[in-house]
Structure 1
């Protein structure tokens, strides 16, 4: 079975907001690692001007 190890989807809304969808295979990171990754992504998103 072919399984993606990391999938990200960003959806930008007309109002200026966005949603981030994340799917991570457990073989590359545990829950704590994913939480750190998402915290870093949100920190980067706060610095971007869309």
Structure 2
């Protein structure tokens, strides 16, 4: 479990799914991008919890 947590922390520290590489200036597009990042993070945590349970 610790390695899973460390990998997730490292990915988040590196830029939140590469947010810094997008260079988005339009606020509406940025909102949608952040929503996609939030949904992806939620899904990843769910998959990780499910894998840990099995």
Normalized per residue, the structure richer in helix is 2
TM-score > 0.5, shorter chain as reference: no
Higher relative contact order (CA 8 A, sep 6+): 2
| TM-score bracket for the superposition, by shorter chain length | 0.3 to 0.5
Normalized per residue, the structure richer in strand is 1
